[in-house]
Structure 1
Amino acid sequence: MTALFSTRQHCGRTMTDRRHVLVVGTALAAELSTTYRTVDTSLLCHGSAGATPPGDFVCVRVVERDSEPAVWIDRAREIHSLLPVDRVVAFGESEQIVAAVIAEELRLPGHHGVDVVRSVADKLEMRERLADGALGTVAFAEAHDPLSVERFAYAHPGRRWLVKPAMGTGSRGVTELVDLRHSTAAFNRAREVANPVAGSRRVMVEEFISGRQLSVESLSEDGQHRVLAITQKYTDERTFAEVGHCVPAELSPEDTNAVGEYTCTVLDALRVHYGPTHTELVLGAAGRIDLIETHTRLGGHGIPHLVSAALGFDMHELAFAQLAGVPLLPRLPAAVPRATSAQAVWFGYAPVPGRVHSLRRRTEPEAHVEVLVSPGDEVTADMTRSSRVVAARASGATGAEAVRKASQAVLGTTVVIECSMTAQLLGP
């Protein structure tokens, strides 16, 4: 079933230069529609028929979660017929490809082609595109079955390997393979994670690279890239789930420049020319840099808020302004800017699955604590978003100070699961 409705009484082009932006997926859609009123915003998303997503939208179309791309395209054409669409954007990961398909079907200029977005979203295709150049430093292969994983590991002995979905989100379906007897379980775990819109179920195996995990927050316009921040990432060693971030990463000037230049080279190689990007990489010994993945979207997990607090750049506002046609390059520094403070966020995850009975937290004068669940909510213990129960943000003169304050605030939160087990959330 598809819900068809408009949230305003009339859908018609007014005598202004306002752009009509179609947001695919709900991520940041309400924020764009209510805070950046120099554009008209419409929404195309999956959800329940008849449910009106929050926001001030010109038009809304809702499709079922597992709808084929053709259904999304048909609904986009309906919106386009009511009020011609100028820009199509997806702020979330899962809708990137379908947004590119819609822009291409509507023949809208200035967007990334489907091949560009797919080569970014599909990590196997990304590796294949970069394999022949200086950026192809990570060994990888497509795994058609568990035996493919084993053959690849035998062909590259003495290394650590990751088995993961080519188009996963977050850390879902990612396994470090330390024992080949577990290759079938690792392959099946990755295979089960399917992109709900793009539909790719390919599995890949790649070399695990040790080192500092960083992400680079950038904006691009007319093929020119501007690095606004480099984020230090903290992950769980077992699940690879992200447990915290700090902006800026504490790097030498030489490493800062090298990371920025490397990121721009990656974006050029993948033919990214427009919009926000979030590039994850590893800085290893002797300054070696290896790409993990990149995304044609803003960083998640509160990173834009850290960038705003540490550097004064509101990445949400900048992305919205670009959609409205505002030139960004005059507003952005040519070199990575210096931060005025360090900003960190730390996450707490439920240690056991079940139903939240109650939450208790102590007063934290040095951190802002946000409880993400309520009594009665179901939580998992797999360190995905469905098991995240608290987030704490803090600032400091150094990254270490900001991380300490944020992680201690998480330690001060206790969750009680319905099974009567009380567990204090683990920090770093």
Structure 2
Amino acid sequence: MRLSCDVELKNRLLPSHGMKGKGRPLRCSLAIGRRGGNSGNGQEGAVFLMVCSAKDKTGTKYKLKGNMEQVFTRFVQEGKATLRLKEPEQDICISKADPLQLKNFLSVLKLGCQGSKLEKVHLSTLTPATSAQVERPKTKMVILQRSDYPIRERFPKGLESLRVNGCSLSRIDSRILGLKHLRALDLSKNRIRTLPDDPGQSTALVELKLADNLLERLPPALCLSSLRNTLQFLDLAGNNLKFLPPQICEMTSLLRLHVANNQLTTLPENFGRLEKLRFFSAQENQMVVLPFSFMDLSMDEVDLSGNCFQLAEQEASASHMQRTSEEFPTLLEVTARSIKKQRVPYTEEDLPRHLHHHLSRVKWCVCSNPCFQPYAKHRVPFNLHRVAHTLVGPTSAPVEGFLCSAFCWSNLQANPNAPWKCKRK
């Protein structure tokens, strides 16, 4: 039976001689078995513990029966344990082991120390460890050429960082989505056109770079997946995105968002919900206006250069209004407002089709109330220094929002900067 883990050997006699061990954990393979030449029938031959490392693949053997002074298992759930031997006077400190495998290993170790009930346990003859058994799991991988991309081999299971650039990938490999420990994924400079709706088992992603691909849309379902709670850095620069889905505003853990060099004309209305966002770059797009919720952000650096922000002089001191023809809300409007305001959960099967479609067209007033029709659009200039410490590009841009009532319109006329607005939901 073998166990791959980190091992540090500590000699207990060194402190008594005024010496201090300077060892450090090494990747090792621990094995329990019998010496070569024993019958191996479970009753004959002593059982040994063998410790193999990259420097000593043949291993060092320690007899088990009557030679184990104590086993410390307090932190076995964390993959840690300490084996205290009588001869030689050493402690074998185990760490970074799989907790389940470690428990099984210690169970067999206990039987080996007792020297009984081993007939039901298959113990093979101790053999030198292979290179794969004593090498540390690969946590970082960089592929910069198509010829280096693994076709038949699997990606190492312990990968935490994967970078695949310039390999002409047209989609995200399903083998990559199966990497449980992946935290940073860089697939920039490929030819990826579509993204999956689900990150698969890669639920620990903190950094996702998809710059310089051929993406035309960001799947809403991907924004609502487990990534909404883990992803902190999203790079979508250099693609063909014409809009960002409103669901991206649910990714409230984002600290960095790069969408430069796309074809964006505006941002989602609830963009201000990204309260943790600190670095935002959207240069070289086609944006003419920012959502009103942009005023809620507080960032370290913003780059909006190369966009088409324009605000006529006559609009600089007054809002631009576009009212619908209806003056009184319909029953459909009242129902939809109540569902949104009370946050009533619903699915497409719960409501009539026309009501569900109407709900998908919700607008949020600056006073935080939902509105569908009638509503009014307003556009005012905004000093970007109010939301960013460092600015690249324009220092002001028009912001556009919606008003649900004449009361909100009168408040806006009284103060175009709208300090009276409530926090948007």
Give the alignment's TM-score, normalised by structure 2.
Answer: 0.21
Higher strand proportion, which one?
A: 1
Structure scoring higher RCO (CA < 8 A, sep ≥ 6) equals 1
Which has the greater radius of gyration? 2
